[in-house]
């Protein structure tokens, strides 16, 4: 599995005004080039009266699929600066369209680069980005005397709890980062003097948004 990387979880919209020109940045989660193309087309239909609808996208965990367009702006003044922002933030599975309504004042090459870059940053500020990480579900069963120690270890290692069930024993399901799963198991075994039953699941990708664990 790949190591953790950031993805766009929820798209958003931000706006920047430069010398009366409006730059509206809209972001969208995408996982394929077809999805990205469909999103760009939706934005072109929505802002049909705009002078330009420039775009950039980065797909895949390693960001190998990349594309951008100046859509009529001078070469390298729109799409490439937009793409550079996405690459600099290391966000994957994202497409951004920046719509420009011309305000009558020419901005020059440097002004365009700053405006399109700044618009993308505004769009990202109104979006939700999460880290997609490799991990494993770990199920722990213990008696009531051991749960306090286990909860302490989980909190210390910042391992998110998925579920806790109280019967004649206590069963706790957690999502452990892949790199910490082994040490978590060892610490719980040591902390409970081997009385805890531990079952480790298969590798998965997960993220945490607003305190909730999401599986991919």
Pairing of strands 52-59, 94-101: antiparallel
Mean pLDDT within 87-113: 96
Say yes or no to pLDDT of 133 above 90: yes
DSSP string computed for 41-84: HHHHHHTTTSSEEEEEEEESTT--EEEEE-TTSSTTSSHHHHHH
Class of domain 133-215: alpha beta
DSSP element (H, E) containing 136: strand 128-142
pLDDT at 3: 86
How far is residue 99 CA from its own chain's centroid?
23
pLDDT range class, residue 41, cuts 50, 70, 90: very high
Mean pLDDT over 139-158 rounds to: 94
| CATH fold label, 5-126 | Ribosomal Protein S5; domain 2 (3.30.230)
| Confidence (pLDDT) at 211 | 85
CATH 3.30.70.240-classified regions of the chain: 133-215
Q: Tell me the C-alpha distance between 106 and 151, whole Å.
A: 61
The average pLDDT across 79-91 equals 98
Domain with CATH 3.30.230.30 in the chain: 5-126
Asked whether the predicted pLDDT for residue 160 surpasses 90, the reply is yes
């Amino acid at each position: 599995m790949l190591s953790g990387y950031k993805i766009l979880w929820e798209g958003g919209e931000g706006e920047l005004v430069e010398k009366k020109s409006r730059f509206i940045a809209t972001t969208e989660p995408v996982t394929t080039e077809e999805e990205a193309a469909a999103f760009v087309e939706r934005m072109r239909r929505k802002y049909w009266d705009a002078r330009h609808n420039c775009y950039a996208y980065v797909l895949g965990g390693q960001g190998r699929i990349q594309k951008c367009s100046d859509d009529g702006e001078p070469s390298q003044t729109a799409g490439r600066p937009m793409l550079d922002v996405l690459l600099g933030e290391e966000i994957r599975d994202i497409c951004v369209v920046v719509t420009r309504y011309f305000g009558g004042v020419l901005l020059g090459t440097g002004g365009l680069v700053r405006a399109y870059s700044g618009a993308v940053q505004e769009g990202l500020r109104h979006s939700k980005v999460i880290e997609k990480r490799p991990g494993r579900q770990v199920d722990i069963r213990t008696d009531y005397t051991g749960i306090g120690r286990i909860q302490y270890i989980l909190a210390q290692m910042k391992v998110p709890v998925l579920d806790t069930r109280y019967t004649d024993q206590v069963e706790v399901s957690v999502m452990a980062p892949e790199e910490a799963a082994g040490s978590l198991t060892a610490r719980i075994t040591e902390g409970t003097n081997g009385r805890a039953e531990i079952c480790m699941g298969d590798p998965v990708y997960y993220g945490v948004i607003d305190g909730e664990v999401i599986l991919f």
